[in-house]
Amino acid sequence: MTAFEVRALQEFACACFKNAGVDHEDADWTANVLMTAEARGKSTHGVSRLSDYVKALLRGKINSSPHREILQTSPVSTLVQGDNGLGPPAAREGMISAMKAAFQYGVGVSTVQSGNHVGILACYTELAADEGLVGMAFTNAQPAIPPSGGKRAFFGTNPMALAAGMGNHRVSIDMATSTVARGNIIMAAKRGDSIPEGWAIDAEGHDTTDPNLALLGAVLPMAGAKGYALALGVDVLSGVLSGAQFGNQVGSIYDRDTEPAGTGMFFMALDPAFFVGRKVFVERMTQLARNLTQSPKASGVERIYLPGQRAREVEVARRMHGVFINAQLMDELNGLSETLGVPLLNRIEGTPSV
């Protein structure tokens, strides 16, 4: 494996997007989202997605020069028309729009239509938490999960996220409604690895440990029927309510055609100033966090983490010491470098391979 500084990979990703026709602001934010995931140990949503994003841009699957519109539908609600551009910039517009309304009215909601894959949702909910708000985010995705009793993928992994609180007492929940993120199966297929039993079924509805058969079949919902119900709920908010594609109509950046994915999103921001008050909210979040992390631990457990806490600690370490890129992914990055004329610099020299 080869070690790279996170900053260097982010600069490389930004340059790749710009050379694929994306303006600087959108390129910079999308690169930031990918590399935040990489730094937090969420490699399935990190640098491994770069090549797929760029390929979709180059073949017109993703619009490199979208004309996004933000429609104010009420004092507290907006609709963002993403024009099939990169998902992260449209998602950022959605969350910021919701935040603006929350500051003024206590609550703000925003939907996004004609979007694409957005990366980790924590990047958006934490925008709200950074400003003392409570942020929530939902997005649908290409079919991956079967309904209870079904054998065909119908809903996406349809993640949901919530962030609130500051510093060491921040709670940042970000999870798919599937047993595992589909990106883990994509990564396993790229590496030639098998996947654990219970992750997925093949196209005929049979359990499989072959990631390639799983990608032709479906990822299983988390907690059985409960995960299926949550995936449906996410699609109601992000797909049906927004006017975007929903259910098995949602496309994918991986499809070889040029039809837009039509991904939908839903964002909400709440200002504690309109409820218990910001000062009291911070105090109560701090108390909740302390009570939770200091609760009795099971045998062999050294520490109880808040959701998102472990990922933030990993991020600090990786931004300091770098991240490792495997040989297969290095081939993809070198291919992008050659195709787009972007040098891949600042490898951390002297770091031993692992």
**Residues recognised as catalytic:** 117
Burial class (CB in 10 A: 0-12, 13-18, 19+), 258: exposed
Neighbours of 288 (CB within 10 A): 15
Burial class (CB in 10 A: 0-12, 13-18, 19+), 134: buried
CA distances (Å), 38 to each of 30, 49, 190, 346, in order? 13, 10, 17, 17
**Which residues on neighbouring strands pair with residue 347, listed in sequence order?**
4
Can you say how many angstroms the Cα of residue 134 is from the centroid of all Cα atoms in its chain?
18
Read off φ and ψ for residue 194, nearest 5 degrees: -85, 170
CA distances (Å), 260 to each of 33, 58, 195, 216, 257, in order? 21, 13, 30, 20, 9
Q: What span, in angstroms and rounded, lies between the C-alpha atoms of 169 and 147?
A: 36
CB 37 within 8 A of CB 119: yes
Q: What span, in angstroms and rounded, lies between the C-alpha atoms of 198 and 326?
A: 26
Report the chain's C-alpha Rg in angstroms.
20
Can you say how many angstroms the Cα of residue 223 is from the centroid of all Cα atoms in its chain?
21
- Tell me the residue type at 352: P
**Which residues on neighbouring strands pair with residue 194, listed in sequence order?**
none
